[in-house]
Structure 1
Amino acid sequence: MSARQKLGSEASRVRYIRMDRSVREAIRLLAAPDVDALIVVDGPCDDTGSFIGILSDREIFRVMAREGLETLDSLVWMLTTPEFVSADVRTPLADRLQLFCTHKTNHIAIMNGMCLHSIQSIWDCVVDASHASTV
C-alpha cells in the first residue's frame, strides 16, 4: 500500500520517514509538536513508498534501554516491526480501545481496505470515545 494513500484528520500529526534513515533523524521528527508516530516507508520519497510499519518514541526508548546510545546511528527499519496492529475505518471506538489494550500498543493503523487511512494513538481514541459518549 502506498503511504500517500493516508487520509484523515490525523494527517497533520503523522510524518513519514524512509526506512534507510537514521534513528537520530527519526528522533528529530518525533520531537516536532503534535507528531505522535512516524510511518516508515520503503521507497524513493518519504511519502510515496510502501508502508512497512509504525515507529514511535516508545520503540526507540526500548531499544536504547537495551543497546545504548549506539541505537542513534541505526537505521529506522531495524526498530520498526512489520507486524503492526490495524483496524478497519468502520471499527467502533470501543473495539479499537480493546485492540490497544489487547496488543499493549500506543498506535494502530486505521485501514480502508488495503489502503492506510490514518494512524490513531490510544489517546486520540480515548478522546474520540469520550466525545462520542457525550453526543
Structure 2
Amino acid sequence: MNVGHILSVKGSEVYTLDAKATLAETVSVLAERRIGAIVLVDGRGGVAGIISERDIVRVLAKSGAEVLDKPVGEAMTVKVKTCGLETPIDDLLATMTKGRFRHLPVVENGRLVGLVSIGDIVKNKIEQAERDAEKMREYIAAG
C-alpha cells in the first residue's frame, strides 16, 4: 500500500495559501475548513512551506497576538519533508513519527499533488487490519 492509494480514497484536494497571507487569515482558513495544517505554495505550484495549528500556538506563545498581523511566511516551516505517490505507507508512518508531525505534503515532479495526515494513515491501517481479519475468518471457516 502506498500514498497514491490513500489519495485515491480520500481525494487530493489541498487547501493552500500564499506565504504573504497573514497568520490571522491562516487561522481563519484552518477553523473554517476544520483542518490542522495548510501548505504554502510558490508561484510554480511547489511547496514553499507548511504551517500547522501547533506552529501557530507556538508563535502566539512566543510573540503574542500582534503576530497575527504578520505574514504566515514568517512563522511557517520552510524545510518541509514531503513524500511521493509511490511512498509506502509504512515509510510514511516512520517519517511522520520520527519528525513528530501530523501532515506531509505529497509532491510529484516538483508540484504539490496532495496532503496526507496521520489520521489518513491510521484509517488505512485500521481498514487493512479489518480486511486481514476477515480473510483469516474466511480461511478458518473454510478449513
Contact 2:22 2:69 in 1 (8 A): yes
Q: 1:58 aligns with which of 54, 60, 65?
A: 54
Percent of aligned pairs with the same amino acid: 28
Partner of 2:87: 91
Structure 1 range deviating more: 85-94 or 70-79: 85-94
Once residues 50 and 116 of structure 1 are traced to their aligned partners in structure 2, the CA distance between those partners, rounded to angstroms, is 6
1:19 aligned to 2:19?
A: yes
Offset of residue 34 of structure 1: 3.7
Q: 1:133 aligns with which of 129, 136, 139?
A: 129
Once residues 87 and 36 of structure 2 are traced to their aligned partners in structure 1, the CA distance between those partners, rounded to angstroms, is 21
Unaligned runs of 5+ in 1: 1-6
Contact 1:41 1:49 in 2 (8 A): yes
Once residues 84 and 33 of structure 2 are traced to their aligned partners in structure 1, the CA distance between those partners, rounded to angstroms, is 27
Offset of residue 35 of structure 1: 2.5
Question: Map of 1:74-89 to 2, 5 A cutoff?
Answer: 74-89=70-85
Which structure features the higher share of strand residues?
A: 1
Higher Rg of the two aligned structures: 2
Offset of residue 10 of structure 1: 4.0
1:35 aligned to 2:35?
A: yes
| Aligned-partner residue type, residue 15 of structure 2 | R
Q: How many residues align?
A: 123
Which structure features the higher share of helix residues?
A: 2
Change beyond 3 A, Cα 1:10–1:128? farther
Once residues 114 and 42 of structure 1 are traced to their aligned partners in structure 2, the CA distance between those partners, rounded to angstroms, is 11
Once residues 92 and 109 of structure 1 are traced to their aligned partners in structure 2, the CA distance between those partners, rounded to angstroms, is 14
Contact 2:39 2:105 in 1 (8 A): no
Unaligned runs of 5+ in 2: 1-6, 132-143
Change beyond 3 A, Cα 1:94–1:109? same
Q: Structure 1 runs of 4+ off > 4 angstroms?
A: none
